[in-house]
Structure 1
Amino acid sequence: MMRPPSGLLTKLAPLGLAIATVVTTPALALEGDAEAPVEVVADQLDLDDSAGTAVYSGDVEIQQGSMQLTGDRVEIQRNAEGQLTRATANGERAYIEQQPSPDDPLVRGWGRTVIYHVAERRVELIDRAELHQGGDTFDGAYLEYFLDRRVVQARSESEGIEDRQRVRMTLQPEN
């Protein structure tokens, strides 16, 4: 991951505690991910503590342990207790990756919009959506992945998307 210029790091340092309370959660993580430091790199941050939102823009990279979320713009929402409730990344190819457990393959997803719902442990990939888990791949206009159940739901159409994007999948045989 790219390191921010020292001036940017200094500006973001006072926000470290706020960011940690927003992003730190065991919901989408290896056991040690929740204790890992949160690293955020962006060109701009608009933080509204009373609303519980942080909006990062400009080549945003967020990493905590094995979880990585990138996009042109990432909005993080948290509840009154400071817990992350939803993270939404937007961009030409917004991206999320996570190692769910040491025995599971890496899960990687792309879309013009990536929404992670923390309490539900659910990821939505919208518009030119693509999901890879091990050798299995799924593509479509809309993909929904339930982490705990390892369930994928795919659709060729999604609200707000003009072009139909047929669902495609490749499943590797089990050994």
Structure 2
Amino acid sequence: MTRPPFAPLLTLGVIGLLLGSTPALALEGDASAPIEVEADRLDLDDRAGTAVYTGDVDIRQGSMQLTGARVEIQRNDQGQLTRATATGERAYIEQQPAPDEPLVRGWGRTIIYHVAERRIELIDRAELHQGSDTFDGGYLEYFLDRRVVQARSDAEGVDDRQRVRMTLEPEQQDGQ
């Protein structure tokens, strides 16, 4: 039996990449929203399971956006999306987890989204905004399902240490 072509798997994989499988973690309409990809170039290698977009890449679906100078999408032998890596001076990712929650926005010179783990790594000049709370450092790790942030001042392969900084806004009390 031959494998189906990569392009349909990529489309299905991007849906999985951008939204995951848990509707509570994304706006309900995101799963049915069209996927829009803009780039200057696409290099597709079906045998290697990779798609590499270059040149001001912008991938959107519903409330999700992933941008970078280069975005590489990898899949396993079963055609399942395993990882998306965005790189650039300021690669960017955002998603609105629920209608009543603010956008989660992240930046870094490298952003790696590990699909199965639903984990995002923001590397080198990393920055994450959750509502009015902000986190900065050399390396930030964000676990989507648990909404957990881990931060370090250094990242592997990055020469300068970037101290961890956090700004946590107090919750507003009723009546204030």
TM-score after normalising by structure 1 = 0.86
1:170 equivalent among 159, 167, 170: 167
Residue 95 (structure 1) aligned with residue 92 (structure 2): yes
Aligned-residue sequence identity (percent) comes to 78
Rounded Cα–Cα distance in structure 1 between residues aligned with 2:153 and 2:142: 15
Rounded Cα–Cα distance in structure 2 between residues aligned with 1:18 and 1:58: 22
**Contact (CA 8 Å) 1:21, 1:82: kept in 2 or not?**
no
Matches within 5 A, 1:151-170: 151-170=148-167
**Contact (CA 8 Å) 1:107, 1:133: kept in 2 or not?**
yes
Residue 38 (structure 1) aligned with residue 35 (structure 2): yes
Matches within 5 A, 1:12-161: 17-25=8-16, 26-27=19-20, 29-161=26-158
**Contact (CA 8 Å) 1:24, 1:84: kept in 2 or not?**
no
**Contact (CA 8 Å) 1:97, 1:109: kept in 2 or not?**
yes
**Contact (CA 8 Å) 1:61, 1:70: kept in 2 or not?**
yes
TM-aligned CA deviation for residue 78 of structure 1: 1.6
Structure 2, gaps ≥5 residues long:
1-5
Moved more, 67-76 or 15-24: 15-24
**Contact (CA 8 Å) 2:9, 2:80: kept in 1 or not?**
no
Rounded Cα–Cα distance in structure 1 between residues aligned with 2:143 and 2:134: 15
Secondary structure of the residue aligned to 2:137 is: strand
Secondary structure of the residue aligned to 2:100 is: coil
TM-aligned CA deviation for residue 34 of structure 1: 2.3
> Over aligned residue pairs, what C-alpha RMSD do you find?
1.7
Moved more, 34-43 or 110-119: 34-43
Moved more, 40-49 or 96-105: 96-105
Deviation per CA, 1:52-88, whole angstroms, max 9, x where unpaired?
2100001100011111000000000122343321110
